[in-house]
Structure 1
Amino acid sequence: MSPPSRIALLCALFCSAAFLVCGTEGQNGAEPEVTTALGRLRGTQTNVKGTDKLVNVFLGIPFAKAPLGSLRFSSPEPPEPWTGLRDATSHPPLCPQDLSLLKTAEKSFKEKHLAFQTSEDCLYLNVYSPAGSSKKDKLPVMVWIHGGNFIFGGAGRYDGSALSAYENVVVVIIQYRLGLLGYFNTGDEHARGNWAYLDQVAALRWVQGNIEHFGGDPASVTLFGVSAGSCAVFTHVLSPLSKGLFHKACILHSCAKLNLCYSGCRYLNFLKPFFALRTFNVDIVHNLKKKLEILLTTNLIFFFLFLQEISFLPLVLDGVFLHKPPEEILAGKEFKAVPFMIGVTNNEFGWNIRSASSCKLNYMDTSAATSIMYTDVPSDLLPMIIDEYLGDTEDPAELRDRFLDLLGDMAIVMPAIKSGAPTYFFEFQHRPSAYWDSKPDYVKADHGDEVGFVFGGPFLEERNLSRTLMKYWANFARNGNPNGEGLVEWPSYNLNEEYLQINLQQKKDRKLKEKKVEFWKKVILEKTKSKSIQNKKFKLEL
């Protein structure tokens, strides 16, 4: 497996490795019922440690029909209503994925979770609401989109009980189609793609039509996600199809690139030689779907392992979910103006290089760094980038740390800083104690480390930090402003570029990585000049 593919795969593993939080004490025997627009549901009630509040839990609620048969590689359709009392006490199956990653997560990240199953019938969501809440309460709603590099993850890996109990909010955790099933497209009307994003839109529409029955306010919905999930949140900010379905956005780690959108069809070009196809029309697309169905049902695990070699950039211009490239929407300020919160950690790439077997960080040099890096900047700019980060030291430990900073800055931190002046910006700096014996000492706050605290971190010495993060996030969901009584002031991100450093103690700061931001502005300028020269040369040749 190539270094970029290996890094992407490890990203998928860690970005979805949030705790199934140990903050719940268990079910208390109560069986709450709720009547939705589609029918009645029976759930469970759970106690949350550290509070006397109870939470009603409803699992496996359908928000779309099963995407099977004619609905495979198609837009989701509303689910059918049911009669009688529907059981909502079991987690839904995960969307098809390689489950061996879960076993790796159990070992590497000390996870404890259920024995998951997978099924294409996976368009379900889980709802956690404070016991006793009703329509009149109009509680803030927080909708979580999981990460996992677009190929991995699911609702059952997260528990919204602690966040719901401590902060009196309704938490919704959704699932969506992954990998080929979520993103296959032919670049035309035969298979437009973006199925996963359309699944998320369907889930948000379900929230608008039903969340009041759980005590939630459909006019106060916050969309939040991590890594690939944060990319999804950002695309919903850009998409006209999502307008009015949510009212605040929180991104835990930025998209690696804003130019995720391209009009070509990556899957199409990849699958043509695989199925010995030269062109596409409606009949061939129909036959291709049939072949894919056979492969998916006969050798699913092989196929998902096979697809891990693809570098996923799944967002396409489909004319439905997205009509213009993201950079054009941003430049024209055609996106939804919602309160925005975005953040990074201080060691974004601590997780992948540690595990990449061919990368010997203790023997890092400039040639090794260049061979590992993956970037869309012109190759002639790589020496300038390498020199900026690694050029004035030969100490192996210092080279290792600087290289990790380089990867994190290039892929996540700089895109987050330049993504358009978020309302509130943070840098998470605390290394969770749970990883003390599973990560090297040089790894600080890793990619996604704050997620477990937002959902109610279970470790005694970090309980206050978890409570603080839950308060900040819930305040933002309530008011579009994370500040509140007893919290360190979190300044808005304005011309002074102020942000909050989040650790066991919080403090304000400004101009995160100021010198590196100026350097990357220079890189982008050189890149723009290079593209301009190439375009002029192309026109002359024509």
Structure 2
Amino acid sequence: MCNVIIYSRRIIFSRLICLAAVTAAFRAKRLLLLLRRRVGLNAASVQDGRAQLGGSRSALGLCPVGRSFLFILTFVVDVVVTHSPPRSASPLPLHDNTRAIPFAVDRKQRTRVTIATAVNTPPTTMVLLNPTRGNRIRGLLQLAACACVCVCGGQVQSQRAGGGNRDAPVVNIRRQGAVSGVEVPLNKIGHRAWTYLGIPFAKPPIGNLRFAPPEVDPPPAWSGVLAGNAHKPACIPDPPVRPHPVHRLFATITPSPVKISEDCLYLNVYRPEGVVPEEKFPVMVWFHPGDFHWGTPIYWDASVLAARHKVIVVTTAYRLNILGFYTDNTAEASGNWGLLDQAAALDWVQRNIDSFGGSTQNVTVFGQGAGAVSVGLHLVSPMSRDKFNRAISMSGNALLRTAVTAPDDPEAVLDALADKFNCFRNTLTGCLRNVDAEALVKGGGSLIRWGPVVDGPALTGNGTAAAGRREPFLPDAPAALMDDGRFAAVPHMIGYNRMEDAFDSFDGVNGGGEGITKDRFEALVREGVVEEDEDDRRARQLRRLQQQQTTATVAPTGETVGGLSDGGGGLGGAIEDEANCTLDVDFVVDTVVLRYARQTDDPETLRRNYVIMAANKAYGATGHRVAGYVSRLNATYVYRYEYKLRATKALPAAAEWMDAPHGAELPVVWGVPYWPSASAIDWTAADRRMSDTAMALWTNFARHADPAHRSAGVNVRWDEYEPRNPRAMVLDKVPNMSLPDQEPEFWNEYYPKVLAVALQCCANRTAESSATAVFAAGGPGPATLVALVLVVLWTSSSLVAGWPSPMA
């Protein structure tokens, strides 16, 4: 609303004149918007000599021109017309935060007309002081002032409570409607961003749409202009008992409390202000972390990333936990709803991002943790082909042992759900659709870790596809799909942090405050590495027996049990899946200890070595496997993040010895040292330089498919990945290429062979008698000893040959 107050002897007449001008301006503006909407004009389709963001031409074209005209005209009149002090009429007092600006001087009446604008108030409020008998010049100037301020200011006035931000231009979204945004000033970097928050990309997944693919046709539509100035509620989470310190950081610097709802399928668009370049902006679509159980796009403010590096960033919500990944192993509910939400968001980007100035031919998907696993699964999913052009995986990939959920007994899980919510087993899915959403998340989360599943076509006994089943998102185990070359061969940037699981391994519960002994090191290897792999092997045995009983078809390298499948990771198929097998756990533990702890007894060194070893096995080795697949077909870049934040308030839970735990790269990649909401944190100059480097590398890759492209002024050399020469970019205070990394070879090539030797299989005996026979002689057999010697020789020779130490 434009408030114009005229004080004079003829106050009524002056108000009527200005009111008529204001009314005419608003009517013209509304008519223009209506006309543009009717004829289907939108932002990216208007190209008349230069690309413009459409929907509100006055905000981009008329405002600067109107303001310039107003100031120039004011200056000319002030110079040409004789200045004289105002008549002795007492001026009206101004508010403390108001400043008076000379506007025009009446030559005959020797009276100065002044405009008072409140410094901290919206630009649509104007007070005209002391006008007297109007002449033609003063009348025209008053009308011009009213029209310019109301038309221009009305378009850019902020709708954010408590902020001085202005409106971003209105954008028309095909088949949905118009949406307004907010212009966000970023004083620390000298740029502004336009943000459009809370745009629906699918109908609310409630009622019969719970446990169903997102409904996007027709897309959600609205009348009028949707206010994109606030986030919509987050998807209902099932948060961990102890939130990760990095996520606590982002939750702390999020300005407002996060509301939750089952109606949560909304996305947010962040883009640079101003004119769209001829080639349009690169687009980056973010999948947030949270173990598929919690998390929200609300934490991830991309204003700095978008404004500084001229990219469009889209952050999207997706359903989580049981609401996002429930499956009953039938065509009715085959699972992966959260991944289908992500695919629907990518479809929305392909249909509509050009309206915001983005290029549909240059879309990068990127994510961290569960978001990076999502990126990896989209790479191998046939449903996501041609929806993106590049991929960035941060601390996660589709080959992680936890990437795909495979419960030991899926039927037992469904029986437990039926009992918990008083449902009949044969109508379980329909019954659960009527359970309160928050109660369902709380009750269902205690039964199983819900997550992605292999939802390949369920087959009947005669091998025909089950009737009514939708196209699968994940038709086979990720490893099998990559082995067969069934993945999107787009340029890929992938990496991990050197101390990924430092918080989880040593958090006061597992000890390690002053370091660990060698006995503790061996116990951690036994519990967290070898026995975990043995549990995976036994789980595969059980699923194979279940498949044989249900006549389900066995996939080449991953077993499908009515929609729940082995992830195809773990031991890589090197172990025989015989029913009567026993693993020589002690031998495998000794082999790992020999590699990582034989040269030291220092407690702090042993603690550091264990954390780095765990990161190498879980994230580094699998990441290098993915890089090996993709690099055969397209450019691939691998990094290892090692920078330790200097800001003590950023991650207060991080011990001094932790340099780069899981998530430590997120504040620098997202430019958090420049966020207005994070200004209370003691960021150092080194933190800001690291953030500058990381933002440039990530957006460079999105723009050029080359993170070290020279056009952005990045002065680093980052070579493409070569499987025979597995080097990585070490992201530290001074980024540099590493020496060839031997850790991927150890975990991907030699460790499975050690397991194969340590596994004793006797098909004609029970497991107990097999174990007795194997260890009756008091230790491992000759084959085991030979394998041990080979590992020792390989480790020693690699070090002698100049390869770096595993702890280098």
The verdict on a shared fold, with TM-score over 0.5 as the criterion, is yes
Correspondence for 1:35 among 169, 172, 183 = 172
Deviations 1:366-397 (A, max 9, x none): 23542344632565334422443234433222
Alignment match, 1:15: none
C-alpha distance in structure 1 between counterparts of 2:171 and 2:733, whole Å: 39
Give 1:55's aligned amino acid.
A
Correspondence for 1:468 among 693, 701, 726 = 693
C-alpha distance in structure 1 between counterparts of 2:369 and 2:247, whole Å: 22
- 1:82-121 aligned at under 5 Å gives the runs 82-98=222-238, 105=245, 109=249, 111-113=252-254, 114-121=256-263
Q: Percent of aligned positions with the same letter in both sequences?
A: 28
Alignment match, 1:488: 716
Give 1:404's aligned amino acid.
V
Alignment match, 1:3: none
- 1:389-538 aligned at under 5 Å gives the runs 389-421=596-628, 422=631, 423-435=636-648, 437-458=652-673, 459-461=683-685, 462-485=687-710, 486=713, 487-494=715-722, 495-512=724-741, 514=742, 517-518=745-746, 520-527=748-755
Deviation of residue 534 (structure 1)?
A: 7.6
Aligned length: 507
| Residues 343 and 426, structure 1, Cα contact 8 Å, conserved in 2 | yes
Correspondence for 2:498 among 346, 353, 357 = 346
**1:271 partnered with 2:414:** yes
Deviations 1:149-185 (A, max 9, x none): 1101111011101110111000000110000111111
Task: Could you tell me which runs of 5 or more consecutive residues in structure 2 were left unpaired when the two chains were aligned.
Answer: 1-161, 458-471, 538-582, 674-682, 767-808
| Residues 238 and 321, structure 2, Cα contact 8 Å, conserved in 1 | no
Change (3 A) 1:104 1:463: closer
Secondary structure of the residue that 1:510 maps to in structure 2? coil
| Residues 491 and 705, structure 2, Cα contact 8 Å, conserved in 1 | yes
- 1:344-383 aligned at under 5 Å gives the runs 344-355=496-507, 357-360=509-512, 362-364=515-517, 365=520, 366-373=522-529, 375-377=532-534, 380=585, 381-383=588-590
- 1:168-207 aligned at under 5 Å gives the runs 168-207=310-349
C-alpha distance in structure 1 between counterparts of 2:186 and 2:604, whole Å: 43
Task: Could you tell me which runs of 5 or more consecutive residues in structure 1 were left unpaired when the two chains were aligned.
Answer: 1-24
Change (3 A) 1:385 1:295: farther
Change (3 A) 1:293 1:86: same
Give 1:28's aligned amino acid.
N
Give 2:413's aligned amino acid.
F
| Residues 135 and 216, structure 1, Cα contact 8 Å, conserved in 2 | no
Quote the RMSD (CA, aligned, Å): 3.1
**1:246 partnered with 2:377:** no
| Residues 145 and 225, structure 1, Cα contact 8 Å, conserved in 2 | yes
Alignment match, 2:443: 303
Secondary structure of the residue that 2:610 maps to in structure 1? helix
**1:222 partnered with 2:364:** yes
Deviations 1:68-123 (A, max 9, x none): 01110010011322111111111121111146869875996483223111100011
C-alpha distance in structure 2 between counterparts of 1:130 and 1:240, whole Å: 33
Deviations 1:182-233 (A, max 9, x none): 1111222121001111000000000000000111001110000001110100
C-alpha distance in structure 1 between counterparts of 2:490 and 2:247, whole Å: 40
**1:235 partnered with 2:377:** yes
| Residues 248 and 338, structure 1, Cα contact 8 Å, conserved in 2 | yes
| Residues 67 and 120, structure 1, Cα contact 8 Å, conserved in 2 | yes
C-alpha distance in structure 2 between counterparts of 1:138 and 1:285, whole Å: 52
| Residues 494 and 627, structure 2, Cα contact 8 Å, conserved in 1 | no
Higher relative contact order (CA 8 A, sep 6+): 1
Alignment match, 2:290: 148
Q: Which moved more, 1:311-320 or 1:483-492?
A: 311-320
Between Structure 1 and Structure 2, whose CA radius of gyration is higher?
A: 2
Q: Which moved more, 1:82-91 or 1:198-207?
A: 82-91
Give 2:718's aligned amino acid.
W
Change (3 A) 1:516 1:262: closer
Give 1:426's aligned amino acid.
Y
| Residues 222 and 477, structure 1, Cα contact 8 Å, conserved in 2 | yes
- 1:124-163 aligned at under 5 Å gives the runs 124-134=266-276, 136-163=278-305
| Residues 350 and 360, structure 2, Cα contact 8 Å, conserved in 1 | yes
| Residues 135 and 213, structure 1, Cα contact 8 Å, conserved in 2 | no
C-alpha distance in structure 2 between counterparts of 1:235 and 1:534, whole Å: 37
Give 2:752's aligned amino acid.
I
Secondary structure of the residue that 1:294 maps to in structure 2? coil
C-alpha distance in structure 1 between counterparts of 2:240 and 2:429, whole Å: 27
Give 2:660's aligned amino acid.
A
C-alpha distance in structure 2 between counterparts of 1:57 and 1:266, whole Å: 46
C-alpha distance in structure 1 between counterparts of 2:661 and 2:294, whole Å: 19
Secondary structure of the residue that 2:374 maps to in structure 1? helix
Deviation of residue 411 (structure 1)?
A: 1.5
C-alpha distance in structure 2 between counterparts of 1:88 and 1:304, whole Å: 34
Q: Which moved more, 1:208-217 or 1:407-416?
A: 407-416
**1:60 partnered with 2:212:** no
Q: Which moved more, 1:353-362 or 1:144-153?
A: 353-362
